[in-house]
Amino acid sequence: MLSLIVAKSENGVIGSSLKEGLLWNLKDDLKLFKKHTLGKSVIMGNTTFKTLKTNLPSRTCYVLSKRPFRVPVLHENQYATNDLDFAITSSLKENKEAVIIGGREVYSLALSKYKIDKLYITTVQAYLEGDILFPEIDLNNYDLVKEKAFPKNERNEFPFIFREYKLKN
Ligand SMILES: NC(=O)c1ccc[n+]([C@@H]2O[C@H](COP(=O)([O-])OP(=O)(O)OC[C@H]3O[C@@H](n4cnc5c(N)ncnc54)[C@H](OP(=O)(O)O)[C@@H]3O)[C@@H](O)[C@H]2O)c1
């Protein structure tokens, strides 16, 4: 099964070229990211990889880059590849679920080439500045299977809604 996980603001912002990493501090959303990726394969672009603050333990990571790699194994659980098809095929051999974790270039590529079975979408309830946007996606092809709202509190800088969608048969 191929999935995608993203956190975006109300105006579709997922990041900014002026600031590295996430634009919000949402501890409960990080927990959701962990819950929905642990024990699975994750696929990301090289830019997102460079912003990570951990090695994403207990996940097999595929990092996409157009550059040639002399050392394709970056870390014990991390592989570099030039080919999304290879990343997805290898991921699905290892685990039942492969999750596309961004950023924008890799979301766009995956959404244009593949049927994504499951979407995990966090909507941060704020309008934020940023020039990296989540690509348009037609949710009419999906059923909403889970929805949970999280309030703003000491753990979460903004209120947010987590939604899980399943591709219609
Ligand atoms: N809010 C969220 O949920 C979320 C999630 C993830 C990321 N983000 C944010 O998104 C931003 C990064 O997104 P981005 O679009 O700039 O970069 P990205 O998608 O993370 O990575 C882009 C890189 O991936 C490689 N790549 C792209 N297309 C490829 C292809 N067809 N074949 C092989 N390699 C390919 C290239 O690496 P090389 O340059 O090495 O060739 C390219 O520079 C950051 O701000 C990050 O914080 C947000």
97: domain CATH number is: 3.40.430.10
| pLDDT band (50, 70, 90) for residue 95 | confident
Contact 135, 108 (CB under 8 A): yes
- Determine if the pTM surpasses 0.75: yes
The secondary structure of the chain in percent helix, strand, coil, rounded to multiples of 5, reads 25, 35, 40
Domain residues for the domain of 141 are 2-167
| Residue 45, preceding peptide bond in cis (omega within 30° of 0) | no
Reply yes or no on whether the pLDDT at 80 is more than 80.
Answer: yes
From the CB of 66, is ligand 1 less than 6 Å away?
A: yes
Reply yes or no on whether the pLDDT at 94 is more than 80.
Answer: yes
Question: In this structure, is the dihedral angle defined by the CA atoms of residues 140, 129, 102 and 125, taken in order, positive or negative?
Answer: negative
Burial 3-33 (b: 16+ CB within 10 A, else e): bbbbbbbeebbbbeeeeeeebbebebbeebb
Ligand 1 centre from 46 Cα, in Å? 5
Q: What tens digit of pLDDT does each residue of 24-78 get?
A: 999 999 999 999 999 999 999 999 999 998 889 999 999 999 988 765 777 788 8
From the CB of 36, is ligand 1 less than 6 Å away?
A: no
| pLDDT band (50, 70, 90) for residue 19 | very high
Can you give the pLDDT at residue 71?
A: 58
Tokens of 138: 């037609």
Counting Cβ atoms within 10 Å, is residue 160 exposed (0-12), middle (13-18) or buried (19+)? buried
Can you give the pLDDT at residue 12?
A: 98
Higher pLDDT, 123 or 76: 123
Ligand 1 centre from 154 Cα, in Å? 30
**Strand pairing report for 142-150 and 160-167:** antiparallel
Top mutation candidate among 10, 47, 79, 157 for ligand 1, by most atoms within 8 Å of CB: 47
Contact 79, 61 (CB under 8 A): yes
Q: What tens digit of pLDDT does each residue of 134-155 get?
A: 999 999 999 999 999 999 999 9
Radius of gyration of the chain (CA): 15
Ligand 1 centre from 80 Cα, in Å? 13
- Count of domains for the chain: 1
Q: List the strands of the sheet with 78-81, edge to edge.
A: 73-75, 78-81, 60-64, 41-45, 98-100, 2-9, 118-124, 160-167, 142-150
